Structure 1
Amino acid sequence: MDLTPSAGLFFAAGLGTRMRPLTLDRPKPLVTVGGTTLLDHALALGSGLTRRVVNTHYLAPLIVTHLAGTGVLISDETDLLRDTGGGLRHAMPLLGPGPVFTLNTDAIWSGPNPFDLLAGHWRPGEMEALMLCIPRDRALGHAGPGDVLREADGRLHFGAGAVYSGAQIIDPAALAGHDDPVFSLRAVWERLAGRGTLHGLDYPGRWCDVGHPDAIPLAETLL
């Protein structure tokens, strides 16, 4: 099995409640920043992947129409919103075997390509997941205390530190034991952190969390 990730899941199934009223008539990934949808910004980062998969739930036909003819595969969750962990497991037949990238589609990046950075630091014999983290002073549009703390050897545990960027490599085998159809990747990460296989990497550029309308002008300053 090839342990170099070549497929990615782009999360686009959420309800986008924090982005209202813009998401009353469109899913959040189709909100535009700088004249381009958030989804297209995200997919461009993964243009070198052999397989790109987008999951859909809320107003799914709009995303399906938007991606028609692009070669991007659709993981249909219109029957049930599965959260991030359940969504990844549901998409695995489309992603194929081995480690995969996952990316939230509600951020704008300025700096090195996050997929290239993660791939360059991925050590499959040592890691089950590698999360790309943003130092809080480089995280625009994010008002929280941070998500993770990184040890000197790169291992992560949860606490008020850096912000999780929404980009990672994960070995889907780490999902074993999570049998509910709906579950968050947070439950997976916590178990990996406990056994020392959750690692992190700081992003050297800037990043903006586009989770609410007021963040759009901030994100456009990075473009």
Structure 2
Amino acid sequence: MPGRTRSPFFRTETTGLLNALEAARTWGMRRFAVASSLGVYIGRSEAVWHEELALPAARLPHLIVAFKKTVEPLTTHGLQGSGVQPVVLRIGSIWGPLMDPQSPFNPIPPCISAALRDRQPQPLYADDGGDSCYAQDAGRAIALLMTAQTLRHDTYNVSSGRPFTDRELADAVQAIIPGLRLDLLPGRRHCPGDDPCLDITRLTDDTRYTPAFDIAGAVADHVAWRADNPR
């Protein structure tokens, strides 16, 4: 929002959250889940991010990430003593059906969309990548957290827990679309090192969740879905 105040956005979002918290208390809900983000870990140098890490005071890339970082204490403190269990979902990079095929937030949908239209995707760097979770897996993880008999924590990472590289993405797309050739640029676009991923040990221990889709399986499922859906 260049040149514009961010106050209306934060006021609207905060009001919505507070109303939802009040409804949860009034209705005596068992649990209340709020969507946070992997962006809360920005500023940490580790390659694997887990829930016990202290969240740094770092400059955040987007006002949505800034708001999601604030919803964590607002939710946990707002429900304290209410009998409603807060569940903070630190959600990773999720992609899948109904996601904007030109999304700037995840390289997978634009790559698949371009390939399906017989166009050359934007250049990918072979060693770039990260932890992207297929939507069906993310939805199942959240459902398990909401229905588990007991939860030992109030904050959980939700993602695949395993990084992939753009080289693996290219191999998966080329395996599904005959004759497609994706040219990869060597190395990484920006800094050396590994793209971070979310540790989902806590999620797995408390719900027995394991992802059903690796990058190849997710690409195959998504291409099949796109056969009958424009996006």
Q: TM-score, normalised by structure 2?
A: 0.31
Higher Rg of the two aligned structures: 2
Q: TM-score, normalised by structure 1?
A: 0.32
Higher share of residues assigned helix: 2
